[in-house]
Structure formats: structure tokens, C-alpha cells
Structure 1
Amino acid sequence: MFRRGDTGPAVEEVRATLTALGLLKGPWRLSGEAEVFDDATDRAVRAFQQRRGVTVDGLVGPETYAALQAARLSLGGRILLHVPGRLLGGDDVAALQERLLELGFDAGRVDSLFGTRTEQALVRFQREYGLVNDGVCGPATLRALKQLGRLVTGGRPQAMRESEALHRSGVSLAGKVVVLDPGHGGGDPGATGHGLQEAALVMDLAARLEGRLTAVGVQTLLTRGPDSCPDDADRAGLANRARADLVLSLHVDRADSPACHGVATYHYGTVPSGRAGAGTVGSGAGGAGVGTGAGGSGTGGSGAGTGAGGSGAGTGAGGSGAGTGGSGTGESHTGAGSGTGVTSTVGERLAGLVQRELVARTDLLDCRTHAKSWSLLRLTSMPTVRVELGHVSNPGDAARLDDPAFRDTVAEALLVAVQRLFLPKDLDPPTGIMRLPDLAHLA
């Protein structure tokens, strides 16, 4: 973990990457002088985190460092191919996936990983355009990709595929597979405050929701037991192997300020390069500020606003970011997608439904719906939503979360949101009125 004030080779690497990305500029230090994680670096890291859809905290931890490494790779800089067990990842893979989708080849979600689906899409492209169909993106394939214009117009191809798959699955929840992911667990209690532990709270909530889902015929799987804490890759792997219809990841939050409170939901999505609105950060005296184009960041708490043109607004000192651009209602799109699968459209819709049902049925503050590229959201191949159900550091939210009746209300809100995802518009009820018995006639 690197932060303001740190020095060393890793900090030098971070600064070099930020400079190459246009987020940081001089003055250059003399030869042999140590690179310092200064205020300008902190601002540049935050701008990068906002652009990439990771937690905006100015800290270079494993997730931010991995994103920095991925950002250094551009399409054409290396040979790309499928390596089972050690998948190639990076921005170059994401660019390849986007290009294939633009040309009408189903590479799946733009997740920056060269998996089987990307290989199959590349082989189909190579076959159709008279190339050696070996699934390797080398110089000849790259030239062909660059020479062709976009063939899919009038919408986002991956979004259309997701929506069609949802339509074909039918309105009934019976027979569907839902994975519930109670956050943390085992030796990791998660957020703590007012005598509450996140891991225990969300495990209890998962059990309540599991019972309700089972009652309407859903096959429900949990990513962990009470004494285990798998990493995000393992949790995503379980969902992918089960071919789940969707994943709900359950969490509660905390912040340094007890004033922070409210509920937020997150779906997979990123802000494409060139649309993040982050200006270059100067490191001279006084340092220039960071631009606030598409979606500024909240400071601390539950993330960042991602509506196009909106900047984040905390709900208290260091509070939960709430985007002022369009987010999470109806079919609006959180974040500026590139039009080629950067945003999980169905995940975005589910996140909006979850958010609205929770706000309508409880008195939790609406901290909106946001796009993020956190590992679980990115690595799952089905719509995945992370729910942050209040702040245990806030007295009011903690009292609500400690109440079993409140957790029952939350479980019912989540169940209704899942059902509404599969309903056509003519059957979709107003927010906040559907109850468990109403689902019986849909089975």
C-alpha cells in the first residue's frame, strides 16, 4: 500500500505511469533524487481511480496498482492469445474486446481478460476475413482490425445481447439461479461500528433472502459459509461455474465521519479513456487541480458519482459520493460507456431497481447507483450488483441494521427487485408496493 509521503522504486513506477497517462507532469527531479508520493501524485491517483471505476481514496493498494499496470498496455504492444490458467489481462485486451464487439463478434463483457469467449470471437473474425484462424492477435490480425469500420450501429451490441437473453429467460423466478455473496467472513469482520460487524450482518441478511428466494423456486447459492472468506476471484468463479442468472453482493459500509449514512448500489462499468474528465495534475508550487468532467468523486465512504457531467457530493464530511448526473433510474446509464459492453446494461438496471426498492421501503438516504470495475463485478459473467446497506459508523444506520425487522424489510426489497428485473414493462408494478404473496401468480 502506497500513500502520500512514501518514496522508493514503486512510487517512481506509479508516478511514471501516471505521467505516461497524462495525469501528472513535472517538474522533473534531478538524477538520483528520490521520487516522492506528493500532493500532486495523490490528486493524480484519485483522478485515475475515478476514471477506472475503483474506490477513490488516493491510496495505491492491490486493486489500484493492478489497474495502473493494465493501463500501461495498449493494443499492438504485444501478441495476445488465450493462455488457460494464466489469462492475459490489460487495456490492450479490453481494446481488442471492444473492437470485436463493434464489428459484431460476441466477445462477451469487456472485462480486460483474454478468456475463451474472446478467443472464440477472434477466431470467428479471422475466419470471416480470410486470416489464419488461430485465435492469436498478431500483426496481420491487428492490421485487419484497424482497417475495418464499425459494423454494429444504433446501439450497444453487448447491451442488446444481454437484454435479449433476459427476455428469453421468462418472467418466473422458478428455476433461476441466484448467487448471494455475503461480504468478508472468516477472520475478516469487514466494517465495524456500534457493536456491529459487517460479516455477521450480511450473513444474516443472506439467510433471510435465501429463504424468500427458495420459497418462489429460485436455486440459491452462497459464496461462503460463516467461517470462510474466499477472495473475489473465487467468489466470481463459483458464480460462473454455476451459470447463475445474477449475483447480489451484500455489504455495509463505514466512514471516518459518523455523519456519513445511506445506501448505494454498484454495477460493472468503467469510464472510457478520454471521457473521464480528469485534467493533468501539475506538481509545481500550488499544483493544478483535477478536472471534474464525467463524474467527480466522493471523498471517503461509499464511492463516487458517475453521472456524465456530475461531480460527487458527500453526505457528510468524507461522506458517500452521490453522483449528480443521471444514475440508476429506469434505463438511464450510469457512467459514460463506450457503447461496446463497458457497462453491464442488465446489471445497471438491476442496481437501479434494488436502489429504488430499498429507498422506497426504508428511510435510508439515497446515495444513488454507480458504475465500478471492482474485481467481483468485472470477473462475473452475469449481471452482478453490490449493495452497500448503510454505514455502521453512523448511529442511525447502525440502529436500523441491528433491527431484525429492518433486515426482513431489506430482504423483501431485494427479492422484489430481482423479480422486477424479469418483468416486462406492462407487468412491472410501481416501486415499493409489490409483496412476497404477489409473486405467487408469476411462478
Structure 2
Amino acid sequence: GYFGVETSTGLTDFQRNYGLVTDGTCGPETLKALTRLSPMVQGGAPNAMRAESRIRAAGPNLSDKVIVIDISRAHNLPDAHSETSDIIVKDLAQRIAGRFGATGVSAYLTTSSFGSADLQEERERARFANELRADLLIAIALDYSENPEAKGISAYFFGDTNHDTWSTTGEKLAGLIQREIVARTGMTNLRSHAKTWDLLRMTRMPAMWMDIGYVSSSADMARLQDASQRDLIAEAIVVATQRFYLTPEEDEETGRLNYADIKAKLREFPAQVGPGDPSSGDPSSGESALGD
């Protein structure tokens, strides 16, 4: 999280109710007062329990969800690889949006200006997702390494190991997407990790960042330049998102649920897909810079 308007208002209210000077500053006296508060819940993690309750309350169907798909860029990406990264990631994002749209999801694509990994633009995209009241944010990027042998996919969610705080729902979403992609593509599993990146830290909804391979790896690039592999990754992300909303009783094992199963569920519970939405309709809709 971050110290924004809502946190400032909450801090001022606490100071007023506790009889402290209401200066909106978390100084020594305020910190001392906070440490005197006794926990109201014993056992388990209250924040995690509340977050999971919100997910259950949202219901299992994707048809009413709002999802932001962020076309991201590795912070260490050299300019020489920017165009290749942008083309592949944009194409994949469009395939994901097409599949989401066909299930009734309102999918929004966001990105920074070409060739930029500017942190201010990243914060603005997080702010857009918050203003949209999106249910989820899924960021897609290509990683880079000076070591040409480095390859594989990795997922990230908000977490600060120094302060023992993290997004449990972001961790769950990242893990599901990571495992579904590995099960379908056989790409090297670099697992999921906690990060304090702005796009993950400043978003209010469950958010994850997916590095779908290394632009510096010939093995990863051979896969990602194959349209059928990009289709597999797109399907894996949609399936993992559906699993995110299923109860443990409804959930399937990794790699078993597919896009056709999700469409079949829609026939049981019909949803309205907005006409004229470029992300709706056939999964392969949308302009592809790489072709089919």
C-alpha cells in the first residue's frame, strides 16, 4: 500500500477519536497509540480472510467482471529489445482480451508510451485501474538478462518481506496463472515472488505481473513467436482467472479446465456481451502485429 488520501483521512479520524493532535502525521505519539490497540481477531490473518470473503462475494462467473490487462515493460529492458517486446506482449494481451470479452468480461488494455518503462506512467496506470474499480489487474511483460541461458516464466504479486505484508489474493492469482501456463506450454517454471513495484503496490484490486519469458533467450523467443503458443498462454490466463473465482469444491486441477469449459458454463448462465466491443466476440479478434 501507500500513504494516499484514504490513509490520511483514516489516520486523522483515528487521532481525533483517540484524543490526539489531529495533524495527519504518523508521529511517535500516534505510533504509541496504535501499539496499544488490541487485535480484534485471534487466529488466522484478518486481512486475508476479508480479501477471500470479497472474492467469494463476487461470485464464480466471469461475465460481470472488469479486468485490466496491462502491456508492461521490464524495468531493465534495453532499448534495442523494446520494439520486439512491445509487439509480442501487445499481441498476447489482445488475445487475452478477446477471450475475456467472449465470456462477458469488460477487458481494458493499458500501456505506457512506446519504449518507455517510466515509473510515473506505471503509477498512472495503477491509478486508472483504481478509478475504473477493476476487479483484477494482470500485467504482462518480457524479461531480459545479460545471460543468454536465462529462460522461463515468473509471476509477481505485491509483498514486502521486510514488513511481513503481502496481498494474499494477488499471490493466489499469480500462482494460478503461473501454474496454468507451465502446464500448457512446458516453459521453465521460475515460480512466483513478492515485489513492491508500484503497479502492484498502488492498485487496490488483486494484481499480478507476469514475465512470460526472456526476450534475450532464443528458446523463449522461439516459443513466443509461434502464434499457437501465444494462444496457449492466453487460454491459460483466462482459465486461471476463472479458477480464481471458483470455490475449492468447484475448482479443477491445474491443466484440466479449458476455454471450452468456460464457454459451456456461460451457456448454463447466459451473459450479455456488449456489441461493438473490440475485446468481445471470437478469441482471435483484434489486430495482431505478429499475424496468425
Shift of 1:177: 0.5
1:203 aligns with 2:26: no
SS at the partner of 1:178?
Answer: strand
Shift of 1:164: 1.2
SS at the partner of 2:70?
Answer: strand
1:431 aligns with 2:254: yes
Q: TM-score, normalised by structure 1?
A: 0.55
Contact 2:72 2:112 in 1 (8 A): no
Structure with the greater alpha carbon radius of gyration: 1
Shift of 1:124: 4.5
* 1:142 paired residue among 31, 39, 63: 31
- CA 1:423–1:132 in structure 2 vs 1: closer, same or farther (change >3 Å)? same
* Matching residue of 1:213: 100
- CA 1:429–1:119 in structure 2 vs 1: closer, same or farther (change >3 Å)? same
- CA 1:142–1:395 in structure 2 vs 1: closer, same or farther (change >3 Å)? closer
Separation (CA, whole Å) in 2 of partners of 1:139 and 1:225? 40
Shift of 1:234: 1.2
* Matching residue of 1:258: 148
Separation (CA, whole Å) in 1 of partners of 2:183 and 2:212? 14
1:366 aligns with 2:189: yes
Separation (CA, whole Å) in 2 of partners of 1:179 and 1:228? 20
Q: What is the identity, as a one-letter code, of the residue corresponding to 1:240?
A: N
Gaps in structure 2 of 5+ consecutive residues: 270-292
Shift of 1:134: 6.2
Contact 1:258 1:393 in 2 (8 A): yes
Contact 1:189 1:198 in 2 (8 A): no
Contact 2:112 2:122 in 1 (8 A): no
Residues 209-244 of structure 1: per-residue CA shift (max 9 Å, x gap): 010000000001111388585721111111111111
SS at the partner of 1:204?
Answer: helix
SS at the partner of 2:51?
Answer: helix
Question: Which of the two has greater helix per residue?
Answer: 2
1:383 aligns with 2:206: yes
1:115 aligns with 2:7: no
Shift of 1:435: 1.5
Separation (CA, whole Å) in 2 of partners of 1:438 and 1:169? 20
RMSD in angstroms over aligned alpha carbons? Answer: 2.5
Separation (CA, whole Å) in 2 of partners of 1:158 and 1:191? 43
1:402 aligns with 2:291: no
- The 5 A counterparts of 1:304-319 are none
Q: What is the identity, as a one-letter code, of the residue corresponding to 1:212?
A: R
- The 5 A counterparts of 1:271-420 are 271-272=161-162, 338=164, 342-420=165-243
Contact 1:190 1:197 in 2 (8 A): no
1:159 aligns with 2:48: yes
Separation (CA, whole Å) in 1 of partners of 2:48 and 2:150? 34
Q: What is the identity, as a one-letter code, of the residue corresponding to 2:105?
A: V
Contact 2:79 2:115 in 1 (8 A): no
Contact 2:51 2:169 in 1 (8 A): yes
Count of aligned pairs: 261
Q: What is the identity, as a one-letter code, of the residue corresponding to 1:214?
A: G
Q: Which moved more, 1:358-367 or 1:225-234?
A: 225-234
Contact 1:178 1:245 in 2 (8 A): yes
Gaps in structure 1 of 5+ consecutive residues: 1-110, 274-337
Question: Which of the two has greater strand per residue?
Answer: 2
* Matching residue of 2:123: 233
Separation (CA, whole Å) in 1 of partners of 2:157 and 2:51? 14
- CA 1:369–1:434 in structure 2 vs 1: closer, same or farther (change >3 Å)? same
Separation (CA, whole Å) in 1 of partners of 2:142 and 2:79? 8
Shift of 1:133: 5.7
Q: TM-score, normalised by structure 2?
A: 0.81
* 1:247 paired residue among 114, 133, 137: 137
Q: Which moved more, 1:226-235 or 1:245-254?
A: 226-235
